[in-house]
Amino acid sequence: MDISQEQLNGVVVVAPRGRIDSTTSGTLEAHLLNLSKTPQPRIVVDFTNVDYISSAGLRVMLTLAKRVRDARGGLALCSLGETVRQVFELAGFLPLFTIESSRDVAVRAVGER
Amino acid sequence: MTLSVPRTVAGIREAVDALDAWSAREHLPDEVRRKLLTAFDEILSNVVRHALRDRSGLVEIAISRDGGLVHAEVTDDAEPFDPLGVPAPDTSAGLEARRLGGLGIALVRAFTDEVRYERQSDRNRLTMKWRV
């Protein structure tokens, strides 16, 4: 899995590309959990280039959310496609995450914490 | 299309790549393609998880399109296991109490138009259908 990353106003924006499924979620998990080890991590996960996400990917997002909260950081997701959003909804994940329409809004949301 | 893949993560990747290419050849709408591949990832990762003691076996996949209907079958000769018997997850718990068991199967149910399990001739057989 390709994962691109950039820093915007002290927020790390991570943009995975392709499927987030049982074959790729390990790579994404290692990448994100490594980022969450910094003090008060501020992370945005940008789903623009994500084709779809299965329950293996949801598990990664849940673990990340707990780590970031425990580290008193901030986490937001952005640019979820229709199928990805549907998966989050079916899983009852929408109330657990800050989900924004664009990268800029998500970066602002996390930066303000 | 039919294919056999090993009951391993590499096998899942091989199957999903082949199914993705098949979906493109069949010009499936993107929404159907995504739902189909998500359902396959859930089913195949279940098979792999429940075949830990015997990774030597194969999973057989058959998929075809007949007009507006896509029909898929996943069969294996592992121990009897009905994935549809897994209870639905609690999707209302907060971050701390949240458990994800059963979520994959809930996604399969939501992302197929029909799904059925049967044990037949010492094989697990899962049938999935999608209307296109």
Determine contact, residues B99/B89, Cβ cutoff 8 Å: yes
B56: pLDDT confidence band, cut at 50, 70 and 90? confident
Query: What pLDDT digit, counting tens, does each position of B11-55 carry?
Result: 999 999 999 999 999 999 999 999 999 999 999 999 988 876 666
- For residues B81 and B50, give the distance between their C-alpha atoms in angstroms, rounded to a whole number: 8
B98: pLDDT confidence band, cut at 50, 70 and 90? confident
Q: Name the domain count of chain B.
A: 1
A52 vs B37, B94, B106: nearest CB: B37
B100: pLDDT confidence band, cut at 50, 70 and 90? confident
A53 chain-B contacts, CB cut-off 8 A: 38
Q: Percent of chain B scored above 90 by pLDDT?
A: 73
Is beta strand B69-76 parallel, antiparallel or unpaired with respect to B123-131? Answer: antiparallel
Q: CA quadruple A15, A37, A111, A97: dihedral positive or negative?
A: positive
pLDDT recorded at residue A13: 98
**Could you tell me how many helices (H) and strands (E) chain A has, helices first?**
4, 6
A60 → chain B, closest CA residue: B100
Residues of chain A with pLDDT under 70: 112-113
B107 vs A51, A62, A90: nearest CB: A90
B91: pLDDT confidence band, cut at 50, 70 and 90? confident
B87: pLDDT confidence band, cut at 50, 70 and 90? confident
Write out B83-114 in H/E/C secondary structure. HHHCCCCCCCCCCCCCCCCCHHHHHHHHHCCE
Query: The tokens 């952005």 sit on which residue?
Result: A78
pLDDT recorded at residue B101: 83
pLDDT recorded at residue B1: 97
For B21, the domain range is 2-131
Write out B109-129 in H/E/C secondary structure. HHHCCEEEEEEECCEEEEEEE
B103 chain-A contacts, CB cut-off 8 A: 55, 58, 91
Give me the interface pTM, i.e. the ipTM: 0.93
Is beta strand B2-6 parallel, antiparallel or unpaired with respect to A99-100? Answer: unpaired
Structural domains in chain A, sorted by start: 7-111 (3.30.750.24)
- Count the residues in chain A: 113
Look up the CATH number of the domain holding residue B51: 3.30.565.10
pLDDT recorded at residue B97: 83
